[in-house]
Amino acid sequence: MRKINIALCGFGTVGKGVYEILKKNKKILQRRAQLDFSIKKVLVKNINKKRDAELEFTTDFSDIANDKSIDIVVELIGGTTLAETIILDALKRKKSVVTANKALLALKGFNLARVAEKYNSSLYYEASVAGGIPIIKVFKEAMTSNNIEYFYGILNGTSNYILTKMSSFGEPFAKVLKNAQAKGYAESDPSFDIEGVDAAHKLAILISLAYDAEIDFNDIYVEGISSISSEDIKFAREFGYTIKLLAISKKNGEDIEGRVHPVLIKKDTVLSFINGVFNAVYIKGDFIGPSLYYGKGAGSFPTATSVFSDIIDAATNINKHNSFAKPVFTCSVSRMKKVQLKSMLQLRTKYYLRFSVLDKPGVLSKISGILGEYSISLEAVIQKGRVNESNGKNSVPIVMITHESLEKNIIDALSIIDKLDIVKEKTFFIRIEDFNE
């Protein structure tokens, strides 16, 4: 049985997971792939750290780079500096590369793809998006024949966990975050997760795959969940909605949207049942119709399973002396189209608006009058007296659901409304996605 030598760069959570899978399931892997996988070298920062694994550790990447017996380089360091150096080096040496690095893919993926294609090397990254869910394979292989019309992703487990707990127990954001940190579901610095950046990295990768589009990561609109209050969750529920942090992309003609932000979705849709640390991607293709992929979005073993799925694909190609590398994205990067994502000001959707106003006659009419001037009409309104007096704010909330409106008009109207004496706080809005399953 042919031996496949793997070099792991990084031996954190995911690296250890890859090691554990190989240890426990070596026989299955041999039976299925007819290959004898072996972790030959492991790149680490600190060679003296005690590790419960009989492996050859090194702190010097050149030990790996110069080892001609290594077939596959697995990059699990993260970040965009050393990781990039390692991947570029390996691709140029025509080694197959497997990575879980979403930030690097999102920020520098097109360059990596150009190098890979120039050297006819393979770059795999199933583990970079949605942990154990084989979503890269879905876009690259299962849906190749379809025009993707839109997709929604719950791509950040931490945020989804926090919103789930806030919804279940009515607890405020800060308290739930603290609990999540205590349980290891949120990092001590959680900003990448809760501010939507992590989800946006993953969205960038999926947009490129879905639409063969070369985009600028900075074009993606990113808004996190830290401003969501228990009050918003309660009001949303009264209107029949759940609040989720969604990564959204839609294609309409040449227009492509790419945005990460909290969203109200109808509470009887399948996405609203994706709870806790789970991830899900809901995709609509022109022929396949709607489909959904659901699983653990992070964690050692789910992510390592995806790394291994890539290792097997890479090894099978190597074993077959198959010298044709697949494109890194759905099509070769040379045939991808440079696309500027649609401006948020041009977005048309429904909105949830929460005003904090003085409890005086005529307030509702004043506000809805201004909205009307900006062509914003209302589908539903909740006005409740004095609920905020207890917290000393001396204001009451008015909550509205608009009909489909232009985001530019919403922003312009709110800038006028927020200057009124009767308005006590900056008006908060959340976008709504009413999609039919």
Residues with a known catalytic role? 202
Q: Does 33 bind a second copy (CB under 8 A)?
A: yes
Pairing of strands 405-406, 348-357: antiparallel
Question: If binding is defined by CB under 8 A, does position 88 make contact with a second copy?
Answer: no
Site for a second copy in 298-317 (CB under 8 A): 299, 301-302, 304-306, 308-309, 312-313, 316
Cβ closer to a second copy: 78 or 276? 276
Cα(80)–Cα(102) distance, integer angstroms: 9
> Residues 143, 206, 264, 357: which binds a second copy (CB under 8 A)?
143
Does the protein bind a second copy through residue 289 (CB under 8 A)?
yes
The number of residues that bind a second copy (CB under 8 A) is 61
Q: Does 17 bind a second copy (CB under 8 A)?
A: yes
HSE-CB for 335 with a 13 A CA cutoff:
10
Q: Does 118 bind a second copy (CB under 8 A)?
A: no
> Rounded to an integer, what distance in angstroms lies between the CA atom of residue 281 and that of residue 290?
10
- Binding status of residue 214 toward a second copy by CB under 8 A: no
Per CB under 8 A, 141 contacts a second copy: yes
From residue 375 to residue 414, what is the string marking binding to a second copy with x (rule CB under 8 A)? ----------------------------------------
Min CB(150)–a second copy separation in Å: 15
Nearer to a second copy, 312 or 341 (CB): 312
Does 35 engage in binding with a second copy (CB under 8 A)?
no
Determine, following the binding rule CB under 8 A, whether residue 142 of this chain makes contact with a second copy. Answer: yes
Among 6, 7, 21, 220, binds a second copy (CB under 8 A): 21
What is the closest distance, in whole angstroms, from the C-beta atom of residue 116 to a second copy in the complex?
A: 16
Binder among 331, 344, 364, 416 for a second copy (CB under 8 A): 331
Cα torsion for 207, 213, 214, 216, to the nearest 10°? -50
* CB 190, min distance to a second copy, A: 23
Nearer to a second copy, 331 or 378 (CB): 331
Give least dist CB 344 to a second copy, A. Answer: 27
Query: Does residue 5 interact with a second copy by CB under 8 A?
Result: no
Q: Smaller CB distance to a second copy: residue 270 or 387?
A: 270
User: Site for a second copy (CB under 8 A): which residue of 55, 82, 88, 292?
Assistant: 292
What are the residues binding a second copy (CB under 8 A)?
17, 20-21, 24-25, 28-29, 31-34, 126, 132-134, 137-138, 141-147, 212, 270, 273-274, 285-296, 299, 301-302, 304-306, 308-309, 312-313, 316, 319-320, 322, 324, 326-327, 330-332, 335
